[in-house]
């Protein structure tokens, strides 16, 4: 989950194809209301259709957060309806769904002081989310010193990576996702994985038959509380939800266990370095660099806007400012790799994605103008890795 903000977005850019498509689809999906005055309105939840263990549009496994939302709605005596929205964009997602009245609540927002300012209000905390150590069940994992001399998988640009960067006696192996971390562990390429716990726990349960132990860690940027978020105007609903949450504690715990997501006691890890002490949890895709870039048009688009979109959305996988050690997804090599076909390859890949390889399709998410801005930005970083 990225929590990056695309800063300084013009209203213009925000009102792209994505929102129009979203508005249209929710309008079409909305039930025909034959409004009786005391008709019970569904509790509308915004959720990502492909974000297990948290949410999915597969009715067989709706995911932890959706099921918590369903349990809350049931207590309130209301049915649930879901507005699907891809959550690659973090705060932008919240702005375009919850704050645009597309839904009443979002389960699982990070309960940090200034997540979105006063625009978003929260229920009582419902869970903890963060990083965990994953290793063989007989391995001693009680603190950072137990990692001495071991090979440890850390996610690119994550708090664990920052934290271990200072420890020469621990061999870091950078991975791009929790899935990749679990694979490295399973293949014996690392001894321990220090990765995002919810996904690791879910994979441990569903793909690895509970083979590994999971030890949640605690410390700056390693663990934070999550809650149910509402728009500021929904104070009454928030209070109602807070009223039923205590009676749902055991159901909620059972749901955590069902999805293999740890929510228990965590081991304390020492202070992380500067970057990891950011108030907001540092997650994969956190963009820290604020290097000025040229803003003159190249390739016909707005380089600055393109860079912002890139860092808000694409950097999650391709690295902030396209700095990426993994050659296969190093977009600074596009020119070298494709020469005259660079532009056509870009458009084909970005429009249709390469779903089997993990590259999403963006044509229904961003307008061609927006994607052209990204292309113009990418032109400015070609060859930068050589
Ligand atoms: C969820 C991860 C993810 C996100 C987010 C993502 N990509 Fe990708 N992208 C990939 C992967 C993985 C590949 C490599 C696919 C392959 O192996 O062929 C890729 C490939 C590409 C390529 C082709 C690279 C080449 O050398 O052939 C381009 C261009 C690209 N992405 C652009 C973008 C842009 C622009 C965005 C943001 C709008 C974006 N990607 C967001 C995962 C992602």
**Residue 382 near ligand 1, beta carbon < 6 Å:** no
The reply to whether domains 129-218 and 303-379 share a CATH topology is no
**Residue 313 near ligand 1, beta carbon < 6 Å:** yes
Give the pLDDT of residue 298.
58
Instruction: Report the DSSP pairing between strands 192-196 and 120-136.
Output: antiparallel
**Residue 352 near ligand 1, beta carbon < 6 Å:** no
Give the pLDDT of residue 357.
79
**Residue 346 near ligand 1, beta carbon < 6 Å:** yes
Domain spans of the chain? 11-128+223-258, 129-218, 303-379
> Mutation test of ligand 1: which of 318, 335, 336 has the most ligand atoms closer than 8 Å to its C-beta?
318
Confidence of residue 270 (pLDDT cuts 50, 70, 90): low
**Residue 228 near ligand 1, beta carbon < 6 Å:** no
Confidence of residue 327 (pLDDT cuts 50, 70, 90): confident
State the CATH architecture for 11-128+223-258.
3-Layer(aba) Sandwich (3.40)
DSSP code string of 203-267 = HHHHTSTT-EEEEEEESTTTEEEEEEEEEGGGHHHHHHHHHHGGGGHHHHHHHHHHTT---S--E
Token representation of residue 73: 């709605």
| Pick from 84-88, 173-177, 278-282, 352-356: least confident | 278-282
Average pLDDT along the chain: 79
Instruction: Report the DSSP pairing between strands 80-84 and 55-56.
Output: unpaired
Domain 129-218 has CATH 3.40.190.10: yes
Give the pLDDT of residue 281.
35
- What is the CATH class of 303-379? mainly alpha
CA dist., res. 168 & res. 158, Å (int): 17
Residue with more model confidence, 163 or 76: 76
- pLDDT 10s digits, 218-240: 877 788 888 999 999 999 999 99
Which atom of ligand 1 lies closest to the CA of 374? 35
| pTM for this entry | 0.56
């Amino acid at each position: 989950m990225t929590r990056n903000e695309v800063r300084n977005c013009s209203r213009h850019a925000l009102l792209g194809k994505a929102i129009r498509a979203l508005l249209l689809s929710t309008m079409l999906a909305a039930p025909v209301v034959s409004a009786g005055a005391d008709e019970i309105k569904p509790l509308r939840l915004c959720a990502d259709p492909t974000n297990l263990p948290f949410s999915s549009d597969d009715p067989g496994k709706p995911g932890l957060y959706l099921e918590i939302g369903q349990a809350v709605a049931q207590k309130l005596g209301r049915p649930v309806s879901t507005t699907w929205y891809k959550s690659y964009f973090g705060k932008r997602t919240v702005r375009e769904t919850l704050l645009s009245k597309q839904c009443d609540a979002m389960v699982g927002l990070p309960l940090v002081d200034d997540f979105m300012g006063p625009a978003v209000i929260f229920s009582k905390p419902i869970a903890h989310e963060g990083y965990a150590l994953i290793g063989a069940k007989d391995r001693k994992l009680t603190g950072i010193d137990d990692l001495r001399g071991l090979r440890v998988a850390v996610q690119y640009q994550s708090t664990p990576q920052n934290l271990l960067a200072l420890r020469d006696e621990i061999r870091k192996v950078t991975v791009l996702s929790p899935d990749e971390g679990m694979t490295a562990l399973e293949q014996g390429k690392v001894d321990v994985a220090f990765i995002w716990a919810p996904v690791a726990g879910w994979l441990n349960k569903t793909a690895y038959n509970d083979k590994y132990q999971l030890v949640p860690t605690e410390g700056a940027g390693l663990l934070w509380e999550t809650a149910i978020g509402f728009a500021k105007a929904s104070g009454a609903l928030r209070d109602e939800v807070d009223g039923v949450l205590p009676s749902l504690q055991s159901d909620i715990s059972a749901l955590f266990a069902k999805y293999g997501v740890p929510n228990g006691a965590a081991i304390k890890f020492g202070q992380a370095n500067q970057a990891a002490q950011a108030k907001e949890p540092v997650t994969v895709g956190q963009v820290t660099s604020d290097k000025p870039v040229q803003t003159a048009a190249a390739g016909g688009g707005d380089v600055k806007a393109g860079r912002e979109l890139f860092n808000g959305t694409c950097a999650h996988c391709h690295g902030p400012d396209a700095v990426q050690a993994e050659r296969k997804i190093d977009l600074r090599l596009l020119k070298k790799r494709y020469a005259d076909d660079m532009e056509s390859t870009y458009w084909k890949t970005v429009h249709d994605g390469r779903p089997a390889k993990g590259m999403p399709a963006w044509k229904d998410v961003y307008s061609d103008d927006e994607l052209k801005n990204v292309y113009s930005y990418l032109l400015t970083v070609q060859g930068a890795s050589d």
